[in-house]
């Protein structure tokens, strides 16, 4: 059986926590930050978790 390769794009964007949740950083923090409201940027600082079927798909991409 060949070894499983992790998805390169997924490993850059997602982390698996010790509890098995999938954590990711919010998008829209890259550029054009002067046009975005301060409150919006503040909310984008915090990461978030993916739940349900999407989390299962990402875990399979990461080989977990």
pLDDT in tens, 53-62: 999 999 999 9
Residue 55, φ and ψ in degrees, nearest 5:
-65, -40
Number of Cβ within 10 Å of residue 62's Cβ equals 16
pTM tops 0.75, yes or no: yes
Number of Cβ within 10 Å of residue 22's Cβ equals 22
- CATH code of 8-62, in short, is 4.10.410.60
Rounded CA-CA distance 23/15 in Å is 5
Q: Where are the domains of the chain?
A: 8-62
From first to last of its 64 residues, the chain has per-residue pLDDT tens of: 888 899 999 999 999 999 999 999 999 999 999 999 999 999 999 999 999 999 999 999 999 8
């Amino acid at each position: 059986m060949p070894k499983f390769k992790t998805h390169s794009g997924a490993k850059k964007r997602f982390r698996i926590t010790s509890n098995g949740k999938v954590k990711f950083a919010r998008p829209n923090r890259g550029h054009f930050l002067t046009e975005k409201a301060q409150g919006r940027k503040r909310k984008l600082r915090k990461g978030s978790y993916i739940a349900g079927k999407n989390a299962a798909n990402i875990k399979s991409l990461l080989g977990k």
